[in-house]
Chain A
Amino acid sequence: MTEITFPAGAANQAEADRGPLSARIAALPRVDRRLLLGFVCVSLLALVLGLGFGLTTALARGGMIALDADSAYRVLTLHGTSAFFWWLYLAQVALMIGLAAGESTEGLKARPLIIAGVVVLVSGLVLSEGTALLRTPLLYDANPDLGREDPRAVAGMAGGHLLLALGLVLTSLAAIVTVLRARDRVTGAMTAMGFGVLAWAGFLIVSAIAAVNAFLPNLLWAFGRGAFPADAATEWHILFHNLHYLPLMATVLTWYALTQETTGTTSAFGSGFSKVVFSSYLVFVPPTSLYHMFLEPNLAESVRVTGSLLSLFVSVPTLTAFLVIVSSLELATRAKGTPAGLFGWIGRLPWGNPAFSAMGVAIVSTLLGLVFAFVLIQEKFAPLISDTLFVPGYFHFFAVGAVTETFLAGFLVIIPALTGRAVWQPRLMAAMPWLVLVGLVIFGACGMLAGLQGVPRRTFDIAYDGAAPAGWHALMVGFAVGAMVFASGLAIELFGVLRMLVGGKRGVPMAAMAPRPAGVPGGAAWTGPIAVVLLVALMTGATIGTFEVMRSLPIVVVGGHAGH
């Protein structure tokens, strides 16, 4: 008989006792700090590109600048490629390597793999951006159908994505070796973060395999070595499903690290339960993938029903992690005094800390995104709204508000530890995430409402010779204004992050500012469960509201087919 052993409470204490992450990163060998800085800088370059092209896209959609059809598609391709692929994955590599290095007192292991990873990833970034800039724009999914007459464009985009996959494998292997060698020398136990990095790196490797499955046939066809990839859309959806989960898993792991770093709070549920939550991402990935196929016309009805039921589980890991973090924070904060009322403890959190502020906005944004994600993935809605502006309207709550704000929060901890420079204008930097959230709410509300009224997702000229509904114009202007607001907030945050890299003043190391890690006492914490109940109520309300808006339309909307 075999039993699984859960680590005792001592494991939690050991995690609390080893000091702040920023101090551990500051103590890394020089070569590791330089490698880490390299990944941070390259990922920020991708963010600058993604932000610039994204703002251009939104302004064009709002009619504030004019782009011809070819340029519009090119800018959209550059935005998606820079932001969705390169920013989100280069930043993940930087954070994964940073968190892995923080587990080991001797720094990173398997450095040659990491150095090779830098070379491969930078090459891939250059190839992707160059192809999107100079050849036929294929959109970020490198759709080979759009490149039938320009195989070099297909080769360049597929090649860029395959180099990204190779770079992810190399760096993930190094992270795995690092956290495995950092295990307790006596018991072999891992910290919750060490195990989280292991699971995350494993998931990145599997996603790289999915990328090879999706893009290698495109590359072979472009070189005349294979048949045209007729199943490209289906293979893309497999990868795309992983690409939904990976940034969210990275986000939750970063929240876990940031909570400890900025408040000194460890999980009230113990390190063993945190490991269960982290691994639950991997458990829920394959079964929930079917909803991406709802737009396939030949999908059997039984599969549609099964996919609908399984899609209900898609947010279980993220909501569980949310409950763990919020409840742990509530218990730890209440233990320091008696805050007034049910939610008074929230005001005592360190909102003046830019990293914590960005994390707080990320959590709110995640919940908002979940409300509307559940509208989109319902089998009856998916064919109607998947090719409309509803999609960018809702997913920027995840891509910008949740994931980008979290990754920048992680950088706000890591970069000062690497450079010794103080956080630039901490009060301003703590306020900017809220400006981003305001912009996202405007952008999301206008985009989703426009989508429900039939505004297409990737067609820039929506005048339809004057036949378009009059209300569309105002919504598109609101969409662009929202984008300008959140892009302004993000641009200021980016400037602040760059000032910590170059030219910023030397300051108090973050390690000295970080509170001493402490355990969490027992007690009752109701905010997390109340938030989840509210979330379910909002999801129900959003579904009813969507039905009502669509029933009130003067025309019947026929769904698209191109997938999301």
Chain B
Amino acid sequence: MRSIPLEAGLVLGVALVWAVLAAVYRFSPALGMPGYVRVWGAGAVMFLALAMPLLRWR
């Protein structure tokens, strides 16, 4: 079993939520707000990048 640090787990969780929301905005015709896709999507990528140094410690 492999463990990941709490900090990395939390930041990855944030990236996942933002990615899911970006996808919801992208594929839901009722919303029709491309700006949300851009911002939440960019946020997901940013938090994913932030998680990398937290994971690499071990």
Residues of A bordering B, CB below 8 Å:
1-7, 176, 180, 183, 187-190, 195, 198-199, 202, 205-206, 209-210, 213-214, 231, 234-235, 238-239, 272, 275-276, 279, 282-283, 286-287, 289, 293, 300, 302-303
B: interface residue count bin = 20 to 34
- Indicate if the CB atoms of B1 and A287 lie closer than 8 Å: no
Report the Cα distance A276→B3, complex, angstroms: 17
Report the Cα distance A183→B53, complex, angstroms: 11
- Indicate if the CB atoms of B1 and A1 lie closer than 8 Å: yes
- Seed contacts A209-B46, A213-B35; 8 additional CB < 8 Å A-B pairs: A195-B7, A199-B10, A199-B11, A213-B39, A238-B35, A238-B36, A286-B40, A303-B30
Report the Cα distance A146→B17, complex, angstroms: 36
Report the Cα distance A309→B33, complex, angstroms: 19
Residues of B bordering A, CB below 8 Å:
1-7, 9-11, 13-14, 17-18, 21-22, 30-31, 33, 35-36, 38-40, 42-43, 46-47, 50, 53-54, 57-58
Measured CB to CB, the closest approach of chain B to A488, in angstroms, equals: 40
A287 touches which of B13, B17, B54 (Cβ 8 Å): B17
Residue of A nearest to B33 (CB): A234
Tell me the interface secondary structure of chain B in the complex.
helix
Report the Cα distance A4→B53, complex, angstroms: 16
> Given A1-B2, A2-B2, A205-B46, are A210 and B14 also a contact pair (CB < 8 Å)?
no
Report the Cα distance A303→B31, complex, angstroms: 7
Measured CB to CB, the closest approach of chain B to A495, in angstroms, equals: 40
> Given A272-B6, A286-B21, are A238 and B39 also a contact pair (CB < 8 Å)?
yes
Cβ-Cβ contact count across A and B, 8 Å cutoff: 101
Chain B residues within an 8 Å CB radius of A210: 39
Chain A residues within an 8 Å CB radius of B3: 2-5
- Indicate if the CB atoms of B5 and A188 lie closer than 8 Å: yes
Report the Cα distance A5→B9, complex, angstroms: 9
- Indicate if the CB atoms of A279 and B17 lie closer than 8 Å: no
Report the Cα distance A312→B52, complex, angstroms: 33
Report the Cα distance A7→B31, complex, angstroms: 41
- Indicate if the CB atoms of A3 and B1 lie closer than 8 Å: yes
Measured CB to CB, the closest approach of chain B to A310, in angstroms, equals: 11
- Indicate if the CB atoms of A275 and B53 lie closer than 8 Å: no
Chain A residues within an 8 Å CB radius of B1: 1-3
